Amino acid sequence: MEMETTLTVRHVLEDKASELYTCCMGIYRPVTQGKIVLSKIRKDRYRIDVRKVLEIDLKMKIQILDILSDVVTENRDISELPQLMDELDKAISKLEKMKDTFRKIDNLFKRLNESEREKIFKTAIFVTRRNVESLRDFLGWMLWEGELDDVRDFLVVDQVLVTVRDILSHTLLKDVRSWEKRALMLAVALWLLLRLWAYKRRKISPDDLERDLSALSLLPDESLLKREEYRTVMSVMGR
């Protein structure tokens, strides 16, 4: 008789590597979610490069996630995150097969006018926020189905996804129209998503993710679960 194997949050993140990659690209290179806008403004020739980033095979997506998440394995203060994008660019430049493509689509986005960039940015944030919520829903469903064994890890990862979702929502508010403000918020969101992959790779622990959440002041404290509340949630779930 075969023994039933329980899954962990790390297993689910590994299974959803492609979805997490797409979420990261929506922030790291927003133009990857701007195919409709590019078509409308007659930038069709650049859609080939966009497709190269999104439609690579799973092995390459995981390799890129590994390279980018290597940058975020150390705990940092939030004040250090504005330089994150430059560090990620340096890391991705080591990937000979894809570095030129990433550079091209970054230059494309910079050459667009403000209105075009704004349309692509809003599209990317909307799509990425939806993808983050979808990943969170799937994890929640796996938990309620009794498939996940590590409830405490689930609660931490769930809060990371909630935080990313809310940060992305906040970037669309009218009082956050400057690219400087957005850059910091997007860096935080991307940092958290890449930290999830670093957690999947066992490069960091759930405690490290908790420290990330505690350090953030972008959201009200009551929007996040506190450590002492975990036991209550677990008891409600019958764990």
- Tens of pLDDT, residues 54-69: 889 999 999 999 999 9
- The residue segments making up the domain with residue 177 are 9-236
Task: Give the mean pLDDT of the chain.
Answer: 82
Mean pLDDT of the 86-109 span? 90
Report how many domains make up the chain: 1
2 inside domain = no
Flag whether 165 is in a domain: yes
Determine how many CB atoms are found less than 10 A away from the CB of residue 231. Answer: 11
Domain membership flag for residue 78: yes
Mean pLDDT of 214-218: 71
The SS3 assignment for 41 reads coil
| Confidence category of residue 41, pLDDT binned at 50, 70, 90 | low
Alpha helices, DSSP H only, in the chain? 9-15, 17-28, 35-40, 47-54, 58-69, 84-92, 99-111, 114-144, 151-170, 179-200, 206-215, 230-236
For residue 185, is pLDDT > 90? Answer: no
pLDDT of residue 159: 94
- Section 37-53 average pLDDT: 70
Mean pLDDT of 153-167: 93
Q: Which of 78-82, 106-110, 187-191 has the lowest mean pLDDT?
A: 78-82
Give a yes or no: residue 45 inside a domain: yes
Q: What span, in angstroms and rounded, lies between the C-alpha atoms of 131 and 167? A: 14
Residue 71 pLDDT more than 60?
yes
- pLDDT value of position 199: 97
Q: For 72-76, 143-147, 152-156, which range has the lowest pLDDT when averaged over its residues?
A: 143-147
Question: Does any domain span residue 223?
Answer: yes
Residue 103 lies in a domain: yes
Residue 3 in any domain: the answer is no
Q: For residue 225, is pLDDT > 60?
A: no
pTM: 0.85
* Alpha-carbon span 75 to 215, nearest angstrom: 11
Q: At what angle do helices 179-200 and 58-69 cross, to 10 degrees?
A: 110
pLDDT score, position 194: 97
**Is 62 contained in some domain?**
yes
Higher pLDDT: 163 or 48? It is 163
User: What local confidence, expressed as pLDDT, does residue 1 receive?
Assistant: 38
